[in-house]
Amino acid sequence: MNIPQPFSVSSGQILLEAKGLSCIRQDRVLFEQLSLTVHGGELLQIAGKNGAGKSSLLRLLAGLAHPDEGDIYYRQQPLAQQAADYAADLCYIGHQSGIHEQLTALENLRFWRAAVQAPAGDDYALLGRLGLAGLEDIPCRMLSAGQQRRVSLARLWFSQGQLWILDEPFTALDQTAIALLQQHFLQHLQRGGSIVLTTHQSLSLQYAQLCKLELAYRW
């Protein structure tokens, strides 16, 4: 059975490309002349020691900061020329969980659905699947770190973006949640989606299209 390609860029085609990127923070060159490509259906893991510049690189790729040198292309066009399209096609989850702690898990999900114009869905069922049954209606500040991370990651179950950029998505998750998330990654890749992530943990599943970029720590 053929799985329909819901995304604008087909599997194997270049979705995101960076050429000659440099990033300087506090007078330290984190990286320079860094180039990479992300294809449809591909997972790119950015690895490296603490402080090597992984989060900084993800922020550049997400369009949240500008490189000191170099250019980023989305669907073969400069990012800056199609910022709105890129934002609609991107799900970025940073190091912080990004949840509103005064809102409940259910309210956070409803907020994100509205923000990305995703159709309404059974959020009780989704939260139950993520191990949060019975915790839907209490403020997120009362949840544990791992539970808050699960709420944050729930976006990936209704995101319509082809590209997911995820900074340390496994932080605070237990083994059950890590396995669930990795399974969800596989489904996204099999649909032709792409993922760029940082993690200090090795990916246990065998992704057909797994690339790894090691950022060296530079003094």
Ligand X SMILES: Nc1ncnc2c1ncn2[C@@H]1O[C@H](COP(=O)(O)OP(=O)(O)OP(=O)(O)O)[C@@H](O)[C@H]1O
In which residue are the tokens 């790729």 written?
A: 61
For ligand X, what does the binding mask look like between residues 99 and 138, x meaning CB under 6 A?
----------------------------------------
Q: Is 54 in the site for ligand X (CB under 6 A)?
A: yes
Q: Smallest distance, Å, CB 85 to ligand X?
A: 26
48 in contact with ligand X (CB under 6 A): yes
Per-residue tokens: 78: 């400069």
For ligand X, the binding residue among 37, 47, 51, 199 (CB under 6 A) is 51
Q: Which one of residues 9, 11, 31, 53 is an interface residue with ligand X (CB under 6 A)? A: 53
Indicate whether 195 belongs to the interface with ligand X (CB under 6 A): no
Within 8 A by CB and 6+ apart from 210, the residues are 42, 43, 45, 203
- Which pairs count as long-range contacts for 205-209, CB under 8 Å and 24+ apart, including other chains? 207/43, 208/41, 209/39, 209/41, 209/42, 209/43
Q: Is 56 among the residues that bind ligand X (CB under 6 A)?
A: yes
Chain-centre distance for alpha carbon 88: 13
Among candidates 177, 161, 173, which has minimal Cα distance to 200?
173
Q: Phi first, then psi: what are they for 73, rounded to 5°?
A: -120, 135
Cβ-based nearer residue to ligand X, 130 or 197: 197
Amino acid at 96: Q
Q: Mask 23-42, x = binds ligand X (CB under 6 A)?
A: --xx---x------------
Query: Contact between 50 and ligand X (CB under 6 A)?
Result: yes
Strands of 69-74's sheet, edge to edge?
28-39, 14-25, 69-74, 77-78
Stretch that binds ligand X, among 11-19, 45-53, 82-90, 172-180 (CB under 6 A): 45-53
Q: Where are the alpha helices (DSSP H) in 37-174?
A: 54-61, 83-89, 105-115, 123-129, 145-153
Task: Find the part of the chain contacting ligand X (CB under 6 A) among 8-16, 47-55, 122-130, 154-162.
Answer: 47-55
# residues near ligand X by CB under 6 A: 11
Out of 44, 52, 140, 165, the residue judged to bind ligand X by CB under 6 A: 52
Binding site for ligand X (CB under 6 A): 25-26, 30, 48, 50-56
